[in-house]
Structure 1
């Protein structure tokens, strides 16, 4: 059985390639990633506030259904936003 020594040096070329790919991915998609994060935080905040203060007696499954409703809401919002930009 072959074991690797944890003190062996790591191949820097593989590690650098991974870091370079990650850096290029983030730089290419920076705006989109930020928009995704803002939408997700806003959606979770609104749904949480609604179920904490307005729909207090609602069942837990309704809360989860509202959270999952963020997925079609996300796509609907950004598709309509792009359609409005094209006009």
Structure 2
């Protein structure tokens, strides 16, 4: 696959999933900002900070999986 073909497929993917990618980015930025602010105030240990950041990944997938399940059940 040439670089031009790869760039075209990436651009097609971004155009197709734009709103979802924006939601993903917003969730990530907000989660990291809130966790960082919280740990700046509480002065928690580094391992807890990293664990809390990772919990955002788990929470993200759990939330969107349950949302998809609820939307499927509704229809």
Please say whether Structure 1 and Structure 2 have the same fold, judged by a TM-score greater than 0.5. yes
With normalisation by structure 2, the TM-score equals 0.81
Consecutive aligned runs of 4 or more in structure 1 exceeding 3 Å deviation = 83-86
Q: Deviations over 1:21-80 (max 9, x none)?
A: 111111112121111101100110110111111x22x21111111011111110112122
Larger proportion of helix = 2
Aligned residue-pair number: 73
With normalisation by structure 1, the TM-score equals 0.71
> RMSD across aligned C-alpha pairs, in angstroms?
1.8
Which has the higher mean CA deviation after the structures are superposed, 28-37 or 13-22?
Answer: 13-22
The structure number with the bigger radius of gyration is 1
Structure 1 residue runs of 5 or longer lacking an equivalent are 1-12
Structure 2 residue runs of 5 or longer lacking an equivalent are none
